[in-house]
Amino acid sequence: MKVNGGTQEPGDSPEAKAEAMRAMFASIAHRYDLLNSVLSLNQDRYWRASAAAACGVKPGGRALDVACGTGRLTLELARLVGREGRVVGLDFCPEMLARARENLERVPLGETVELVAGEAIDLSFPDGCFDAAAIGFALRTVPDPERTIAEMARVVRPGGRVVSLELAKPELPVLKQAHSLYLRRVVPLVGRWGVGFTGPYDFLSMSLEHFPPRDQVRELFVRQGLVDVQYTELTGGIVTVHSGAKPQPS
């Protein structure tokens, strides 16, 4: 993976990979929201709202946004829990958290949100302290997706939900080919225009090639003991929302 001209080789340690990812996201934080809107044709708002709804949180509830980035999904969750609720947004990149703070300062519900630094694979929260935990467009970039889901399940109360919003590969024949071309040609080109150098958006588009298909992600949720695991395809299948519930004690 190239980041600002550097390279990340497959054999590098998990720590080196994490540092490379942190550097990559730091380099695009200032344009991340703009490019998300441009590349998704403004569909990203609808996708985040759908993921937040899948969390099932109510007014006064508590929710966690893992790898919250610039806080856009965090804000959707805050709208659902309201002023009496609490949302925590966690990210490992200081530059992303700085952008999240700026975004949240512009809206009244920003005071409902607490932003913290942390790692998705090692959440620093007690067991069962949230009604829901969500991760948006980050499961394919964390060092260990299965451990991330396990940690999210751990911090959710029995009956609470774990939700992942992630890019996917559409299966409809014509859309499948068009989407593949879009990822390989358009996304890197727009990314280079947006941030001024080659690397991050080439990686972000190619990362989907190595991400498990929908059914395998569903099985990942099941292996962590989650029940009522389901997924919903959005916008022709280019985005998928997976969700599962932490079982109630028998």
Using alpha carbons, list the distances in angstroms from residue 222 to 108, 134, 142, 162, 185. 37, 16, 19, 11, 35
pLDDT beyond 90 at 213: yes
Per-residue model confidence (pLDDT) at position 11: 45
8 Å CB contact between 171 and 177: no
Short-list 99, 125, 122, CA closest to 110: 99
Q: Give one word for 20, left, alpha or beta, with left for phi > 0 and alpha for psi -120 to 50.
A: alpha
Model-level pTM greater than 0.75? yes
Q: Which CATH architecture has domain 7-169+213-243?
A: 3-Layer(aba) Sandwich (3.40)
**Chain segment 28-66, per-residue pLDDT in tens:** 999 989 888 998 989 999 999 999 999 999 999 999 999
CA separation for the pair 119, 142 (Å, rounded): 9
- Sequence spans of domains, the chain: 7-169+213-243
